[in-house]
Amino acid sequence: MSKKITIAIDGYSSTGKSTVAKQLAKKLGYIYVDTGAMYRAVTLYAMRKIMVTDNKVDEEAILRHLAFISVKFIYDEDLGYGIIHLNNENVEKEIRLMEVSNNVSKVAAIPEVRKMLVKQQHEIGKDGGVVMDGRDIGTVVFPDAELKLFMTASAEKRAERRYAELKEKGEDVNYEDVLKNVEERDHLDSTRETSPLVKADDAIIIDNSNLSKEEQFDKILSLVKEKTEA
C-alpha cells in the first residue's frame, strides 16, 4: 500500500481549493479539512454577538469569548467528510453567505484566533492521510507536508465562479461587488501580519484560469502519485 502523506493546499479565495481537496480526499481515502470553514465559523459567532460589523471588529470582545467558541467537524457518512459545527450547530450554509465572506479576513487576522484553530488543525492532521486547504497550511500549519500546492487564477475568473455559485444559491448579488470582495480579501489575506497568504518555497503553483476541472485533477493526482509511490 502506498504511504499516507499530508497534502497542503493553499491559495487565493475562489480558486477551487476545496473542490480539489474534497475530490482528492475521496479518491485517496484521506481526511478532508476545510480550514477556511473554521475561520468562517468563528466569524459567524462574532457577527451574531455583534462583535463584528462591516467596518469594525471588537477584538477584545472576541478574545474574551474564545473559550466559549467550539468549532468542530462532524463526519457525514453520505458526503464522506466532516461538516462544520459551531457550538454543536451545523453552520455549513450560513458561513458561506456573502456577509460572512465580507468580515472573515478581519477575524482571521487576529493572532489568538489563529493560534486556537491551528492547534486544532495540528491535532486533526497529526497522523497524516489528510488533505487540508487554507492559506497557511504549507507555511505554518504543516511546513513539512510532503505535497504542497498553491492554487491561483485571475481575480476576474474567480469572481465569475463565485458569482455563479452565489446566484445559484439564490443570493441577490452583483458581479462588481463579488469582484470587489475577491480583491479585498486577496489584499487583506496577503498583507496581514500573522501568517499572511504566501506561497511556500516548495509549493507547486497550479494556475487554473484556463484548466478544466478534469485537467486540473489529473495533473494533481499525478503529483500525488509521485510522492506516494516514490
DSSP 156-185: HHHHHHHHHHHHHTT----HHHHHHHHHHH
Q: Out of 5, 23, 36, 62, point to the residue binding ligand DC (CB under 6 A).
A: 36
Q: Please state, in angstroms and rounded to a whole number, the distance separating the CA atoms of residues 189 and 196.
A: 6
Q: Which of 15, 102, 103, 105 binds ligand DC (CB under 6 A)?
A: 105
Helices (H) and strands (E) in the chain, counts: 8, 8
Give the three-state DSSP class for 118.
helix
By CB atoms closer than 10 A (0-12, 13-18, 19+), residue 127 is exposed
Nearest distance from residue 2's CB to ligand DC, in Å? 27
Tell which one of 62, 182, 189, 206 touches ligand DC (CB under 6 A). Answer: 189
How many CB atoms sit inside 10 A of residue 115's CB?
13
Q: What are phi and psi of 217, to 5 degrees?
A: -65, -40
Q: Where are the beta strands (DSSP E) in the chain?
A: 6-11, 31-34, 71-76, 81-86, 89-90, 130-134, 147-152, 204-207
199-218 binders of ligand DC (CB under 6 A): none
139 belongs to the binding site for ligand DC (CB under 6 A) = no
d(CA 103, CA 50): 12
Name the segment binding ligand DC (CB under 6 A); options: 49-57, 77-85, 131-139, 199-207: 131-139
Q: Does 104 bind ligand DC (CB under 6 A)?
A: yes
- Dihedrals phi, psi of 208, to nearest 5 degrees: -105, 20
Asked if 186 interacts with ligand DC (CB under 6 A), we say: no
Number of shown-chain residues binding ligand DC (CB under 6 A): 13
Contact status: 39 vs ligand DC (CB under 6 A): yes
If one asks whether residue 136 binds ligand DC (CB under 6 A), the answer comes out as: yes
Q: Which is nearer to ligand DC, 97 or 228 (CB)?
A: 97
In the complex, the smallest distance separating the C-beta of residue 125 from ligand DC, rounded to whole angstroms, is: 12
**Which one among 24, 33, 84, 108 touches ligand DC, defined by CB under 6 A?**
108
Print the binding letters for residues 62-81 with ligand DC: x by CB under 6 A, - otherwise: --------------------
With CB under 6 A as the contact rule, the residue among 185, 206, 208, 216 that binds ligand DC is 185
Chain residues in the site for ligand DC (CB under 6 A)? 13, 35-36, 39-40, 104-105, 108, 134-136, 185, 189
